[in-house]
Every structure is written in C-alpha cells, then in structure tokens.
Amino acid sequence: MEIKTIADIDIKLASVSKIKDVDFETLSFGNVFTDHMLVCDYENGVWKKPSIEPYAPFMIDPSAKVFHYGQAIFEGMKAYKDEQDDVWLFRPDQNYERFNKSAVRMAMPEVPEDVFMGGLKQLLEIEKDWVKKGKGSSLYIRPFMIATGKGVVAAPAVFYRFMIILSPAKSYYSGEVKVLIAEHFSRAANGGIGAAKAAGNYSAQFYPTKLANEKGYQQIIWTDDATHTKLEEAGTMNVFFRINDTLYTAPTSERILDGVTRKSLIDLAKRENINVEVRPVLVTELVEAAQNGTLQEIFGAGTAAVVNPIVGFEYQGTYYELPKLDQPVALALKEKLNNIQYKLEEDTFGWTVKI
C-alpha cells in the first residue's frame, strides 16, 4: 500500500524539541511523548481540518462523555527505522480497519483514511528523529478517539476528537512472566465489546490483575466468562500455546481481539512449516499437557511486546512450571517478525509500508 500525504492540514511546530532530554536507552513504556501530536475534531457530522501541533494538555468540559460513559477507542502500532534511516510501518491498514470497526461498535464516527493514515504519515515525517535505529527500538504510535461532546445524558456524543500521540519505546515486558488462569473474573461478555479496542475493556482488567500481582503473577490468562473453560487472551495480548510441535490459539470472536501480531505470527509460523491450529483451547487441555510434559510454551502476542514468553501458570491453586527450552518457537518467531519489521529480511508478505 501507499500512504498519501494529507492535502489540507495545519502544522504548527514546537519551538524547542524535547529530544535532547530523553535517554533512549532507559525508556519505560509509554511515558515519554514526542514533540508533536495530530488533532482532528469531529463536529455535527463533519471531520474538520486536522492539525499537527506541539504535544500539550488541552481543554475539555467536565461533562464530556468520555469521562462519564467511556466512549473512547484506540489503536497500538509501531514505526521502525531501517539501516538506511527509512521509517517503516507494519501492516498499518490492519490497524486503520480495526480502528473503524471499534468506532462502529462504540457508536462513534469512522475516521477518514486521509486523516488517520495521511495524518500519521505527516506526523512521522516531522518526528522521524524520534524513531531510533536498532532492534528493540521503535516509536510506539497511539491513535485514539474520545467523545468530547458535553452533557451527562447516556447517549452517543455529537462531538469527538481524534488524536495521534507518539512514544519512543524499547521492549514492553521484562523479567519472567507467570500467569494466573482466570477462574472468576473475565474481560469480555458475549455480545459485548471485547473485540473492540474500547477504553473500558482495559480498566476492567486492572483490579483482577492487581489481585494476581499480589499473588506473584504478572498477568492473567482470561477465560470465557460463561464457563471459564476456554483460554482466550493473556493480559492485553492474544495468547498462543505450544503442545508438542503444534501451536494453538483461539479463533477471534466477539470476546477476542483480532490482533495484528496474532495473525502475523500465524502466517509466519505456517510459512516456517510449523503446525498451527486455530481453535478453542480448553483449560483442561492445557493442564493435561502440562502434567504429561507435552506443553512446551505459552506466549502472549501483541504490538507492544511482540511476543511475551510465559514461564508458568497457576490454575485452581496449582502452579505448573513450563520447561526451559534452548530454542523456543516464541523467540524464533519474534526474531523473524522483527527481521521483517526492521527490514533485515525480505518481506515476502508485503506487510511493511515505507513512510
């Protein structure tokens, strides 16, 4: 795909860049933002002229519906720099498409392609020095939309704001990740908003995750809310299991996010002749595989972490430790995906898009 530059945009540059104050080697995820942001307001059925302006707080009414009814969606993407100093995006069309699917589910207006993609392209051109070379370095991209319309009646807003903010990133997770399999809490309802990147899905996880943290687990593997028998997501990521030499992951559904990393890993694994089965995975299967020694790996998959290996899980009070492998499939796939993202290997899928 080719990203067209947006035709009509206001650009107001920051007078001083903050980049000199940033230590790119010690970044924690999502706390430092670049000098500029994209802003585009929607008023009474029309998207106004977007602008790129210095990153800064903005004014909003206390009755804005985003505060009261959580009408807000987002995406997570990354920009990578290759050895020739070119900046690349990874499957941005997938994020754009999903963003507008989320918008529909949350009764919000869809964002036009020239605002989302064209705006992102121009923002990245301005901020290209914030994309650092070298594996592990990237610029995390956060497009989001909030309901700015006023009034506490519980109905969709009339005014919205679409924004893109950028945060330089190293890797997302660190240390050993142990998980708790959810037996009571859950992240999504049948007929709910689990498949949308809706803001409310994420804060709903904070309390159960805090309880898991207190028990010594970094994340929760979410199960279906009706029966708690099917394994669905890990924290804010999709989840894969390797039993013997087969990779398993749940099909996407109303409850499970259609993750870009998830589907890329499936395609990549197939190309590498790894057996992949996309089907519901039962907790009982996982426990049995752990008990009989056929469970090799569990890993989360998402944009921020790419791949997040899990060292063990607790279910019904029993902790199951996974084997320590010399050559885990998770890391091999991450390596291959990173090589495509950083343009170190030929992109036979046509996933990468140059800015």
Q: Is 103 within 8 Å of 109 (Cβ atoms)?
A: yes
Q: Is 108 exposed, middle or buried (0-12, 13-18, 19+ CB in 10 A)?
A: buried
Distance CA 64, CA 329 (A): 46
Footprint on residues 8-37 left by a copy of itself (CB under 8 A): 28-31, 33, 37
Taking the least distance from each CB to a copy of itself, the nearer of 64 and 307 is: 64
Does residue 66 interact with a copy of itself by CB under 8 A?
yes
CB closer to a copy of itself, 33 vs 130: 33
Closest of 277, 270, 267 to residue 350, by C-alpha: 267
Please tell me whether residue 71 binds a copy of itself under the rule CB under 8 A: yes
351 binds a copy of itself, rule: CB under 8 A: no
Alpha carbon distance 222, 345 (integer Å)? 34
Which stretch, 90-98, 102-110, 260-268, 290-298, contacts a copy of itself (CB under 8 A)? 102-110
Shortest reach from residue 242's CB to a copy of itself, in Å:
25
What torsion do the CA atoms of 204, 205, 207, 211 make, to the nearest 10 degrees? Answer: 160
DSSP 8-state symbol, 333: H
- Shortest Å, Cβ 329 to a copy of itself: 26
Residue 217 in tokens: 């687990």
Reference 5, options 64, 70, 50; nearest CA is 50
What are residue 42's DSSP bridge partners? 47, 160
Comparing CB distances to a copy of itself, the nearer of 7 and 56 is 56
Minimal distance in Å, beta carbon 267 to a copy of itself?
26
CB 186 within 8 A of CB 198: no
Site for a copy of itself, residues 131 to 150, rule: CB under 8 A: 140, 142, 144, 146-147, 150
85 C-beta neighbours (distance < 10 Å), count: 10
Residue 208: how many CA atoms within 13 Å on its side-chain side?
Answer: 22
Minimum CB distance to a copy of itself, residue 191 (Å): 4
Question: What is d(CA 125, CA 142) in angstroms, rounded to the nearest whole number?
Answer: 16
Residue with tokens 């070298």: 134
Residue 188 as a binder of a copy of itself (CB under 8 A): the answer is yes
The residue within the footprint of a copy of itself, chosen from 54, 101, 128, 192 (CB under 8 A), is 192
> Applying CB under 8 A, which of residues 11, 13, 155, 325 lies at the interface with a copy of itself?
155
Q: Which residues, numbered 222-281, are part of the site for a copy of itself (CB under 8 A)?
A: 225-228, 235-236
The minimum distance between CB 234 and a copy of itself, in angstroms, equals 13
Rounded least distance, CB 247 to a copy of itself, Å: 25
Q: Which of 5, 190, 229, 348 binds a copy of itself (CB under 8 A)?
A: 190
Residue choice 45, 84, 175, 206 for contact with a copy of itself (CB under 8 A)? 206
Residue 45 sits in the site that holds a copy of itself (CB under 8 A): no
Residue 303 touching a copy of itself (CB under 8 A): no
156 binds a copy of itself (CB under 8 A): yes
Query: Shortest Cβ distance from residue 38 to a copy of itself (Å)?
Result: 10
For 202, the 3-state DSSP assignment is helix
**Does residue 207 belong to the site contacting a copy of itself (CB under 8 A)?**
yes
Q: Does 43 bind a copy of itself (CB under 8 A)?
A: no
Give the rounded distance of the alpha carbon of 218 from its chain centre.
18
334 is written with which tokens? 């991450």
Q: Compute the least distance from the CB of residue 150 to a copy of itself, in Å.
A: 7
Tokens matching residue 2: 């080719």
107 binds a copy of itself (CB under 8 A): yes
Work out whether 174 is an interface residue with a copy of itself (CB under 8 A).
no
> 12, 48, 49, 61: which one contacts a copy of itself (CB under 8 A)?
61
175: contact with a copy of itself by CB under 8 A: no
- 144, two tokens: 């989001």
DSSP secondary structure string for all residues of 228-280: S-EEEEETTEEEEEEETTEEEEPPP-SSS---HHHHHHHHHHHHTT-EEEES-
